Amino acid sequence: MRHGPVERLRAAGLRVTPQRVAVLEALEACSHPTADEVYRRVAARYPQMGLATVYNTLAALARQGQVVAVNIAEGRRYDLRTDPHQHIRCRRCGRVDDLPPWEDPGWQAMAVPPGWAVERWTLLAEGVCPACSAGATAAAPSS
């Protein structure tokens, strides 16, 4: 594996602790989890795990660029992909996925109000995921 949890932690100059490895494993296993989703998954194996540690770890990794915090509607989500890319969110179950990279993002030519210097664009698509359109599935979100 090119970038395993340990490599990521080393690359970020962070100490390798079992908790942090578990956090990174959770990020590999879920798609764009919230901090709480990471916590619940990690706590299943490390019952004494603290939620604050999850937040601290994610913040540390994000500060070092090993993880990206994505602000999607209600709640922040975390992503191991750190290259520029966009997201899609299911209105029904809340699932978030990456969008495939798009070669010619025409929005870079979009007119901006005079005087603004644009540094970055973020695109969020919203709709219904395959699982949810297949049948009555999952939880609450709605929008």
Partner DNA sequence: GTTGGTGCAAAATGTTTGCACTAAT
Partner DNA sequence: ATTAGTGCAAACATTTTGCACCAAC
Structure-block tokens of residue 138? 């999952």
| DSSP bridge pairs for 108 | none
7 binds a second copy (CB under 8 A): no
138 binds DNA (CB under 7 A): no
Nearest to 96 by CA among 115, 110, 76: 76
Interface residue with a second copy among 48, 106, 136, 142 (CB under 8 A) is 106
Residue 91 DSSP code: T
Interface residue with a second copy among 71, 82, 84, 139 (CB under 8 A) is 71
Contact criterion met (CB below 8 Å) for 90 and 127:
yes
DSSP run (H or E) holding 88: strand 87-90
Q: Which among a second copy, DNA, none contacts residue 19 (Cβ within 5 to 8 A by kind)?
A: DNA
Interface residue with DNA among 26, 27, 35, 88 (CB under 7 A) is 35
Strands 76-79 and 87-90 come out as unpaired
Angstrom distance (rounded) from CA 141 to CA 126 = 12
Q: What's at 80, amino acid-wise?
A: L
133 binds a second copy (CB under 8 A): yes
Q: How far is the CB of 96 from a second copy (least distance, A)?
A: 11
Q: CB under 8 A: which stretch of 6-14, 20-28, 35-43, 119-127 binds a second copy?
A: 119-127
62 binds a second copy (CB under 8 A): no
Residues that bind DNA (CB under 7 A): 14-20, 34-36, 46, 48-53, 55-57, 59-60, 74-76
